[in-house]
Amino acid sequence: MRHSLVFRSAIIAAAMIGVGAQAQTPAAAFTTDGKLEFPREYRTWVYLSSGMDMAYVENAGMADQHMFDNVFVDRASYDGFLETGHWPEGAMFVLEIRGGQGQGSINRKGLFQTGRMGVEVHLKDKRFASGWAFFPFNGEAPAQALPQTSQCNACHEAHGVVDTTFVQFYPTLLPVAKAKETLSAAYSAEEKAR
Ligand code: HEC
């Protein structure tokens, strides 16, 4: 039996006896060949933020093409973060990329979101050497983890301020990390120098 099927039967069994064990079930499900299943329910997870036209290098992107990224995390890991300021094992994040449009219907100013352009996942999982892995999805087919030396790993390790995640851009989590003092030393020093 495939792992994902075992996982699904466990959820159904839990739901049938009504113990509500779903919160403890890991958000991630893997295929037998080690790929991550597309997280179909991510739109019901906890919403962290939307970046608009964010770019990490000068002159990035096309001038008149707009993009949003919406960030979600599974509910159990969010609850864990509120308690400790760190991410528990199994924490799973989705970055959903959508187009942005200005003119449409009654809108005359500002932008609204349009079709999905991509889904990327960041996962805390011990089976990977650094404890974290990145998965760019192509449609909804299962995705292979990128090598630990990928650009995703490098940028997140260098600039993500809590456990390689970008909590500095998530307005409801930043105060929690400050209170629990779990922000990276580099970020705290940078903020003090401001
Ligand atoms: C140059 C830096 C950089 C690179 C490279 C990068 N990211 Fe990110 N990533 C960010 C930033 C900044 C955010 C916060 C986005 C926001 O605030 O909306 C982010 C957020 C995320 C999130 C949301 C959870 C989190 O960790 O904060 C996921 C998932 C993610 N990136 C996946 C990827 C994947 C997959 C790749 C490689 C294909 C990648 N990223 C490459 C900078 C980077």
How far does the centroid of ligand 1 lie from the alpha carbon of residue 105, in Å? 32
How far does the centroid of ligand 1 lie from the alpha carbon of residue 50, in Å? 12
Q: Which atom from ligand 1 is nearest to the alpha carbon of 155? A: 2
Residue type at position 121: V
- List C-alpha distances in Å: 130 to 126, 145, 163, 169, 172: 8, 12, 11, 23, 26
140-143-144 Cα angle (round to 5): 170
Per-residue model confidence as pLDDT tens digits over 26-56: 899 999 999 999 999 999 999 999 999 999 8
Q: Which atom from ligand 1 is nearest to the alpha carbon of 134? A: 35
Q: pLDDT-based confidence at 25, cuts 50/70/90?
A: confident
Q: Which atom from ligand 1 is nearest to the alpha carbon of 158? A: 2
Residue type at position 29: A
Mean per-residue pLDDT for 53-81? Answer: 89
Cα distance from N-terminal residue to C-terminal residue, the chain: 56
How far does the centroid of ligand 1 lie from the alpha carbon of residue 152, in Å? 7
Q: How far apart are CA 17 and CA 135, in angstroms?
A: 34
Question: What token pair was written down for 85?
Answer: 């300021």
